[in-house]
């Protein structure tokens, strides 16, 4: 059963990545088609559309390459690089990222950067109308605390995400829309902790992992 779940998660993460790329890549194509139309007199707007969409696709690819791929384990706790990636990922949404500078924890687990990116991706899903994502990486004497706060209008976990975060979720209940929650919690548990979600305050959802 474990191998079946692993394969299903791989399929769904691939579907999610492709879904996030289809829109901007399609917009690049549309912009180029408009530029080829000699009767179209808004070439500057078409070029801006193609350029912005290409940047959006590139940002998403760079983000998911580290969040889902082997490269994420290699970057470790290079938080300035991670912050730049996350900023590019969030830039094309209705949300804003607030990730203040903080001392790099020296006693964090190997995949801490990878986990932070996945927590940001999950937290962004909790902001259907946009808002603010606040990232805190707190170095404690005995460990590290990762905290992502999603705050905004109607902020909250989607019902399908709540299902994916259950410890006994069935493989049939995993979809491309909720696999982010499953994968994020899987990472935290593999690293010896667990993902805690606090949605008790209206308009605020906090995602917390402690090592």
Least-confidence region, from 31-45, 67-81, 134-148: 31-45
**Residue 26: predicted pLDDT:** 87
Strand 196-198 and strand 204-210: the pairing is antiparallel
pLDDT digits (tens, 9 = 90+) for 174-184: 999 999 999 99
Please name every residue paired with 145 in a beta bridge, in sequence order, or none if there are none: 138, 210
DSSP for the chain reads -HHHHHHHHHHHHHHHHHHHHHHHHHHHHHHHHHHH-TT---HHHHHHHHHHHHHHHHHHHHHHHHHHSTHHHHHTT-HHHHHHHHHHHHHTSSEEEE----PPPSS--TTHHHHHHHHHHHHHHT-TT-EEEEEEEEEETTEEEEEEEEESTT----HHHHHHTSTT--GGG--TTTHHHHHHHHHHHHTT---EEE--STTEEEEEEE-
Number of domains in the chain: 1
Q: Residue 134: which CATH number?
A: 3.30.565.10
Q: Would you state the pLDDT for residue 1?
A: 43
Residues of the domain holding 144: 2-210
Instruction: Output the pTM of the full model.
Output: 0.88
pLDDT at site 143: 87
How does residue 73 score in pLDDT terms, banded at 50, 70 and 90?
confident
């Amino acid at each position: 059963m474990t191998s079946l779940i692993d394969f299903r998660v791989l399929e769904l993460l691939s579907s999610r990545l492709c879904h996030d790329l289809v829109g901007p890549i399609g917009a690049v194509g549309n912009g180029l088609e408009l530029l080829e139309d000699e009767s179209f007199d808004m070439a500057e707007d078409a070029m801006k559309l193609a350029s912005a969409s290409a940047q959006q696709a590139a940002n998403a690819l760079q983000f998911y390459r580290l969040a889902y791929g082997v490269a994420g384990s290699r970057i470790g706790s290079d938080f300035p690089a991670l912050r730049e990636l996350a900023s590019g990922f969030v830039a094309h949404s209705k949300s804003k990222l607030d990730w203040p500078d903080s001392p790099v924890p020296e006693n964090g687990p190997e995949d801490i950067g990878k986990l932070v990116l996945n927590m940001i991706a999950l937290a962004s899903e909790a902001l259907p109308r946009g808002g603010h994502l606040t990232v805190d990486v707190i170095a404690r004497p005995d460990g590290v605390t990762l905290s992502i706060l999603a705050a905004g209008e109607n902020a909250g976990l989607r019902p399908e995400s709540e299902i994916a975060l259950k410890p006994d979720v069935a493989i049939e209940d995993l979809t491309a829309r909720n696999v982010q929650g499953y994968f994020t919690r899987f990472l935290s548990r593999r690293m010896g902790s667990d993902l805690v979600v606090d949605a008790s305050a209206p308009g605020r959802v906090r995602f917390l992992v402690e090592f």
